[in-house]
Amino acid sequence: MKLPGIAWRTLTADVAVGGRKFRVVRPAQPPKHAPLSTGYRSHQMLVDKPSAIDLAAAWWLAARSPRTVVWLPLRQTATSCGSCYGRRLDLVLMHHSLGLPVAAWKQARAQVRQPRPHTAVLPERPFPDLSEADYEESRWREKHDHLRFATAADTLFLIGSRTAFELQADQLRGLVEDCPAHMAASPGTHCCAEIGIGATPSASSDKNRRNAWGELHVEYCADHR
């Protein structure tokens, strides 16, 4: 499955909290197999193919939509797969310029009523290709343009700039486009996306110390590939 051309069916609602107006977008159907749990600096998500696509499409939308909160309701995911080593969480992706405090999310979430259906089609190049020449620059940018993370209201928030999302996007592209072939060729292989969140260890300013480096590890379920 290639990301370009995927039609992502969503539900969209307009919300206002604390004088700020924004959109909340979520998949038309909650992902059925994407339990997300949290541990010390590490967050674990276990996906099947449709859920991997939901995550990549959500990532694409969050990167390019600074006035949109992208919400993946994952707490009620039906599967019992995976060892849950913390409490189950939803995932919210949003642009840092939105300025929504995570403590206000519960209030925003409660306003999502009568959402409108909308289908977003992923374009030819949903994410920029990072060339070898971009690599050193991206290493610099990762230090200054990382995804912040926080948890509140049973939700993991990833918050950043378009660049911060796009620097991690190739992990998700690979999860959708490359992992199924790897798993078919080598049954039993461990296939995952390792998404760096928080500040890299070398970026140790006071500002970053409270949001130290962590990882969102998105693994393909061994039983539901």
- Min dist. Cβ of residue 46 to Zn ion (A): 6
Stretch that binds Zn ion, among 35-43, 145-153, 161-169, 191-199 (CB under 5 A): 191-199
Q: Which is nearer to Zn ion, 150 or 192 (CB)?
A: 192
Q: Which one among 75, 148, 224, 225 touches Zn ion, defined by CB under 5 A?
A: 224
Q: In angstroms, give the least distance from the CB of 218 to Zn ion.
A: 8
| Locus of tokens 């393909």 | 220
Q: Which residues contact 9 (CB under 8 A, 6 or more apart)?
A: 27, 28, 29, 117, 118, 119
- Count CB-CB contacts under 10 A for residue 20: 14
Q: In the complex with Zn ion, which residue's Cβ is closer, 199 or 221?
A: 221
Query: Does residue 81 bind Zn ion (CB under 5 A)?
Result: yes
Smallest distance, Zn ion to C-beta of residue 129, A? 23
**Residue from 14, 134, 137, 223 in contact with Zn ion (CB under 5 A):** 223
Yes or no: say if 73 and 90 are a contact pair by the CB < 8 Å rule. yes
Scanning 49-57, 68-76, 134-142, 216-224 for contacts with Zn ion by CB under 5 A, the matching segment is 216-224
Under the criterion CB under 5 A, does residue 13 sit at the interface with Zn ion?
no
Q: How far is the CB of 224 from Zn ion (least distance, A)?
A: 4
Q: Does 192 bind Zn ion (CB under 5 A)?
A: yes
In 3D space, the residue among 169, 221, 219 whose CA is nearest the CA of residue 193 turns out to be: 219
Q: What is the DSSP string of 158-204?
A: EEE-HHHHHHTHHHHHHHHHTHHHHHHHSTT---EEEEEESB-TT--
28 binds Zn ion (CB under 5 A): no
Closest CA to 192 of 225, 214, 174, 219: 219
**Is 221 near Zn ion (CB under 5 A)?**
yes
How far apart (Å, rounded) are the C-alpha atoms in residues 67 and 28?
Answer: 19
- How far is the C-alpha of 95 from the C-alpha of 185, rounded, in Å? 38
Q: Minimum CB separation from Zn ion for residue 57, in Å?
A: 20
In this complex, which beta carbon is closest to Zn ion, that of residue 80 or of residue 119? 80
The footprint of Zn ion (CB under 5 A) covers 81, 192, 221, 223-224
